[in-house]
Homo-oligomer: A and B are copies of this chain.
């Protein structure tokens, strides 16, 4: 198997990629803040441009917040979101530059030199927060939990209800232990030759 070449252990390969699946049902076992802290302590090291770390995460725990979110999800995503023990809204912070001097102490001018312009900031925050969304999905799996990432929701509605004009929701992620009949059979993937070209 070509993955024998990897330095990452087969158990870790399975946990993060090969046996991990997007869950559509969840058990009732709670997901704790301590588990979310552990995920953060790991994935905070994932690289972003200029160490901008633009991802912000809203955890929805109260019944009121959860009900509002369920109403804003596309119909096919409502039952799983209603029954997941924890759901997170993952958003890009378009004013991340305010934290940059602390995040990049060796070049505090980056805030003004590269990120004075809001449109440029939005583009950079969107891409780098998307990278961090992937780190988060893998971090949830690293915690032994299943993630259910979804982009099918009322984006302006979620933004208005849970965020503000400086934060843009990229995805909503259900989090928990898999429930009954939690996923479809694994779909095919592209072959190496369909993805990679060499020049």
Interface positions of A (Cβ within 8 A of B)? 1-9, 11-13, 15-18, 20, 22, 33-47, 49, 51, 53, 55-62, 65, 99, 102-106, 124, 127, 130-135, 137-138, 141-144, 147, 149, 151-152, 162, 170-171, 184, 186-190, 192, 194-199
Contact = CB atoms under 8 A, between A and B. Distances in A.
Contact of A34 (B5, B15, B65): B5
Contacts of A132: 134
Contacts of A141: 8
B7 A142 contact: yes
Contacts of A36: 192, 196
A12 B99 CA distance: 29
Contact of A135 (B99, B134, B149): B134
Contact of A8 (B15, B61, B127, B194): B15
B12 A9 contact: yes
A169 to B, nearest CB: 11
Contacts of A188: 102-103, 105
A3 B41 contact: yes
Which of A57, A186, A187 gathers most chain B CB within 10 Å?
Answer: A187
